[in-house]
Chain A
Amino acid sequence: ETGVTQTPRHLVMGMTNKKSLKCEQHLGHNAMYWYKQSAKKPLELMFVYSLEERVENNSVPSRFSPECPNSSHLFLHLHTLQPEDSALYLCASSQAFARDYNSPLHFGNGTRLTVT
């Protein structure tokens, strides 16, 4: 176990569906992240939450909506997605000691999303 658990592991959804990805960390960290990993592209940072406050929103389309109800849980709500949104969505956590210093990221194993 990595300490960061993502569910579901695989998700197939139509463009009109609404679904949510869930991430839970058991490491006592205070920052959580969503990354998107597409083939042959760098990991794209989507959102960062620190102490349950969103501190980064990397120009992500509004069809992706994050939610961080507490420091252990992070959700990514999906609606009216496009086929190009198919990718591996990775959640990560870290301990943010100060704005200029974070501990290394701990990743979950991701949700493989396919939009049909």
Chain B
Amino acid sequence: SQQGEEDPQALSIQEGENATMNCSYKTSINNLQWYRQNSGRGLVHLILIRSNEREKHSGRLRVTLDTSKKSSSLLITASRAADTASYFCATDSSGTYKYIFGTGTRLKVLA
């Protein structure tokens, strides 16, 4: 079964609003990462949070991790039209080289 599942599947907001996406996973992890994918392009790494961290910031991005609930959230503040993309969480399986991705959240930011 897949490791990461994002929620919601699709999200549409107005420019300037905040966007929150959630990710749940099933097994213990070393770290969790968030990626962005623009249509027809490859994925771009946004931020990595380790299993012993609870919160991390990078510019307008804020990621939280709750290992007791096996969940993470990505908050994009003051969204822009350029943030329109699909967002994926990825988790590693301890002791392997596997990064497992979910189906992603499709974010649309309306100008």
Contact = CB atoms under 8 A, between A and B. Distances in A.
Interface of A: 2, 4, 6, 31, 33, 35, 40-43, 45, 48, 50, 55-56, 58, 88, 90, 92, 96, 99-102, 104-110, 112
A92 B97 CA distance: 12
Contacts of B88: 43
Interface size class for chain B?
A: 20 to 34
B99 A109 contact: no
Contacts of B4: 42
A105 B99 contact: yes
Contacts of A96: 97
Interface of B: 2, 4, 30-31, 33, 35, 40-45, 48, 88, 90, 92, 94-104
Nearest to A56: B97
28 contacts: A2-B44, A31-B97, A35-B101, A42-B100, A42-B102, A42-B103, A43-B101, A45-B98, A88-B40, A90-B42, A90-B43, A96-B97, A99-B95, A101-B30, A102-B92, A102-B97, A104-B45, A105-B33, A105-B35, A105-B45, A105-B99, A107-B44, A108-B42, A109-B40, A109-B42, A110-B40, A110-B41, A112-B40
Given A92-B42, A105-B45, 7 more contacts: A42-B4, A43-B101, A100-B30, A100-B94, A102-B97, A106-B45, A112-B40
A56 B97 CA distance: 8
Contacts of B94: 100
B96 A56 contact: yes
A4 to B, nearest CB: 7
Contact of A109 (B2, B41, B101, B102): B41
Nearest to B45: A104
A34 to B, nearest CB: 12
Contacts of A104: 33, 45, 48
A100 B95 contact: yes
B99 A2 contact: no
A110 B35 CA distance: 15
B97 A4 contact: no
B100 A45 contact: yes
